[in-house]
């Protein structure tokens, strides 16, 4: 009796399966066999032959059913012939299982009488009539999962999470929808309470308002009257002013929580929001700088690889004892003279020395009359003009707490990508009125003919013929795709096809 090695190696881990026991089986008494046992063996061989012919297992149990009264004591388990059965296993499957075993119970009466209601032997495999998930139960399960995860967060996550106050300066432009939607979706997933302060250059606009109201978050949308200038330098300066404006709002409304700067084109990870909960007064995280290098020629590419082998990171630098020792800033030398000046320059956009987004502060620092406010924070009402980075808000840079295992974890990425200054986009990204038809669809369900377009006769028809034949046969309405190619005109009763210009 051989058992396949493959199965065995798996089985040996988990289940108890049968091992080759032939001559070692001390419990098998060799010797006489009763006539009924012989009869069963002959029947078994017959069934095996039938199975070989038929191609699926023809079970002896059918006979057992028919002659069910006799010989229950001599019922030999079917395992001895596992190898013979293995030959006929091909179409084995669920089919035979279902047909033979479904809703069918055949208990094996034990020789030794036991009061157990659990019997050894073949049992039916119970399958309910519709073995598919029930949506109500799936919802219940999801609620259980949510509750368990909430409990896990309570036990192992941050204790007493504070509200997050996210400050985002923005203005209306083509890429605003792209960037702002990204930030909005990140903030919607944050598991803590959130207040989103959106400061808009050029005044409060409906465009931004309509984007923000879909978030469902608590938002404060303010505008400042200056328009966003076109050069990056000026833009950075105006953004700083906008952020200070937001901080003044935090002070006025006495918002309590952790202020973080979520620039609208940045990318935030969820771990960032968990990590900043650990800040006490003023913290810094590492920001990965994704400086887009649009137009770099070969030589500078290689040079850059030598000098900046890793992705540039701005953030706190620690010494061996995990104390703040200094700052990593972005190395702008390789880009000297080759950086973008205006927003639509197709050159690398450089960040400033230290970006605002890499810093977080406790909102109580901004309050007028905080009880235990440290003395190294400047009063923001006293500041005017441009503060290049939040370090300008404090007098002593050594009090900054490095977060994210001392700056080793990069928790957010800085990116500046903008469209051309003169690019237009439909207001609120709703196409109204509908655009002109540039290319008509080939097959429309309506019998009206689509508008005529000027066509040019194309000389090469031969190649296109087989394609056309195929399309008319299949009669699919994938004509928009097909219409880009050259077609023959065909007159159908229902549908007319046209030449269309390949653009």
Binders of another protein among 5-44, rule CB under 8 A?
5, 7-21, 24-27, 29
User: Considering the complex, what minimum distance in angstroms separates the CB of residue 15 from another protein?
Assistant: 4
Interface characters, 50-69, with another protein (x: CB under 8 A): -------x-x----------
* Dihedral, CA of residue 36, residue 40, residue 46 and residue 48, to nearest 10: -170
Residue 198 has which token pair? 């959106």
Of positions 148, 323, 421, 461, contacts another protein by CB under 8 A: 148
Residue 82 has which token pair? 């596992």
Rg (CA), the chain: 38
By CB under 8 A, the residues from 69 to 88 that bind another protein are: 77-79, 82, 85-86
Of positions 47, 48, 101, 400, contacts another protein by CB under 8 A: 101
By CB under 8 A, the residues from 286 to 345 that bind another protein are: none
Of positions 62, 65, 120, 437, contacts another protein by CB under 8 A: 120
What whole-number distance in Å separates Cα of residue 44 and Cα of residue 77? Answer: 11
By CB under 8 A, the residues from 155 to 214 that bind another protein are: 155-157
Q: Quick one: DSSP state of residue 377?
A: B
Cα 291 from chain centroid? 25
26 vs 69 by CB, closer to another protein: 26
Stretch that binds another protein, among 146-154, 305-313, 380-388, 476-484 (CB under 8 A): 146-154
What whole-number distance in Å separates Cα of residue 360 and Cα of residue 10? Answer: 53
Of positions 31, 53, 103, 115, contacts another protein by CB under 8 A: 115
Stretch that binds another protein, among 107-115, 216-224, 261-269, 436-444 (CB under 8 A): 107-115
Measured in Å, how far apart are the chain's first and last C-alpha atoms? 72
The helix (run of H) or strand (run of E) holding residue 10 is helix 5-11
User: Considering the complex, what minimum distance in angstroms separates the CB of residue 89 from another protein?
Assistant: 6
List beta partners, residue 415: 290
Of positions 34, 68, 73, 114, contacts another protein by CB under 8 A: 114
47 vs 195 by CB, closer to another protein: 47
Stretch that binds another protein, among 31-39, 133-141, 326-334, 365-373 (CB under 8 A): 133-141
Give the Cβ contact number of residue 356 at 10 Å: 22
User: Considering the complex, what minimum distance in angstroms separates the CB of residue 239 from another protein?
Assistant: 35
Residue 54 has which token pair? 């038929």
User: Considering the complex, what minimum distance in angstroms separates the CB of residue 136 from another protein?
Assistant: 9
Pure H helices in 190-290? 206-212, 232-253, 270-276
Number of residues located near another protein, criterion CB under 8 A: 76
15 vs 299 by CB, closer to another protein: 15
Contact status, residue 358 vs residue 314, Cβ threshold 8 Å? yes
138 vs 294 by CB, closer to another protein: 138
What whole-number distance in Å separates Cα of residue 276 and Cα of residue 267? Answer: 16
Place of tokens 């429309």: 444
- Taken in order 427, 432, 438, 440, the sign of the CA dihedral is positive
What whole-number distance in Å separates Cα of residue 123 and Cα of residue 92? Answer: 18
Contact status, residue 470 vs residue 482, Cβ threshold 8 Å? no
User: Considering the complex, what minimum distance in angstroms separates the CB of residue 405 from another protein?
Assistant: 14
Stretch that binds another protein, among 153-161, 390-398, 422-430, 469-477 (CB under 8 A): 153-161
By CB under 8 A, the residues from 334 to 393 that bind another protein are: none
């Amino acid at each position: 009796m051989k058992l396949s090695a493959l199965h065995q190696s798996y089985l040996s881990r988990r289940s108890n399966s049968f091992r080759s026991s032939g001559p070692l089986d001390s419990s098998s008494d060799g010797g006489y066999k009763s006539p009924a046992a012989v009869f069963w063996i002959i029947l078994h061989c017959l069934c095996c032959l039938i199975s070989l012919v038929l191609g699926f297992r023809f079970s002896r149990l059918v006979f057992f059913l028919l002659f069910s009264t006799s010989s229950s004591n001599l019922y030999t388990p079917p395992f001895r012939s596992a190898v013979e059965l293995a030959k006929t296993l091909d179409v084995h499957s669920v089919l035979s299982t279902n047909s033979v075993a479904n809703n069918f119970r055949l208990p094996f009466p034990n020789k030794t009488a036991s009061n157990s209601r659990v019997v050894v032997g073949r049992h039916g495999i119970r399958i309910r009539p519709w073995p598919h998930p029930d949506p109500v139960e799936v919802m219940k399960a999801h609620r259980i999962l949510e509750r368990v995860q909430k409990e896990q967060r309570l036990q192992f996550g941050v204790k007493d999470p504070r509200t997050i106050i996210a400050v985002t300066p923005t203005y209306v432009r083509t890429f605003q929808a792209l960037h702002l939607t990204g930030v909005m979706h990140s903030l919607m997933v944050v598991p803590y309470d959130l207040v989103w302060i959106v400061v808009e250059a050029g005044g409060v606009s409906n465009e931004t308002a309509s984007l923000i109201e879909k978030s469902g978050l608590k938002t404060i949308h303010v505008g400042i009257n200056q328009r966003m200038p076109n050069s990056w330098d000026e833009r950075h300066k105006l953004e700083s002013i906008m952020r200070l404006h937001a901080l003044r709002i935090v002070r006025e409304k006495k918002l309590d929580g952790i202020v973080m700067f979520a620039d609208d084109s940045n990318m935030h990870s969820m771990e960032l929001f968990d990590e900043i909960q650990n800040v006490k007064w003023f913290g810094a995280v590492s920001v990965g700088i994704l400086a887009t290098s649009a137009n770099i020629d070969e030589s500078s590419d290689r040079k850059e690889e030598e000098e900046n082998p890793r992705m540039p990171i701005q953030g706190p630098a620690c010494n061996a004892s995990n104390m703040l020792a200094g700052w990593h800033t972005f190395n702008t030398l390789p880009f000297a003279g080759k950086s973008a000046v205006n927003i639509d320059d197709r050159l690398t956009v450089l960040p400033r020395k230290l970006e605002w987004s890499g810093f977080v502060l406790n909102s109580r620092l901004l309050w007028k009359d905080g009880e235990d406010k440290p003395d190294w924070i400047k009063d923001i009402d006293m500041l005017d003009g441009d503060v290049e980075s939040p370090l300008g808000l404090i007098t002593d840079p050594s009090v900054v707490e490095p977060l994210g295992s001392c700056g080793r974890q990069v928790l957010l990425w800085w990116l500046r990508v903008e469209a051309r200054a003169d690019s237009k986009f439909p207001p609120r990204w709703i196409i109204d009125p509908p655009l002109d038809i540039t290319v008509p669809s080939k097959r429309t369900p309506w019998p009206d003919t689509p508008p005529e377009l000027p066509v040019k006769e194309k000389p090469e028809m031969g190649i296109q013929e087989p394609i056309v034949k195929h399309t008319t046969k299949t009669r699919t309405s994938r004509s928009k795709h097909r219409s880009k190619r050259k077609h023959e005109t065909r007159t159908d009763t229902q549908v007319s096809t046209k030449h269309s210009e390949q653009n």
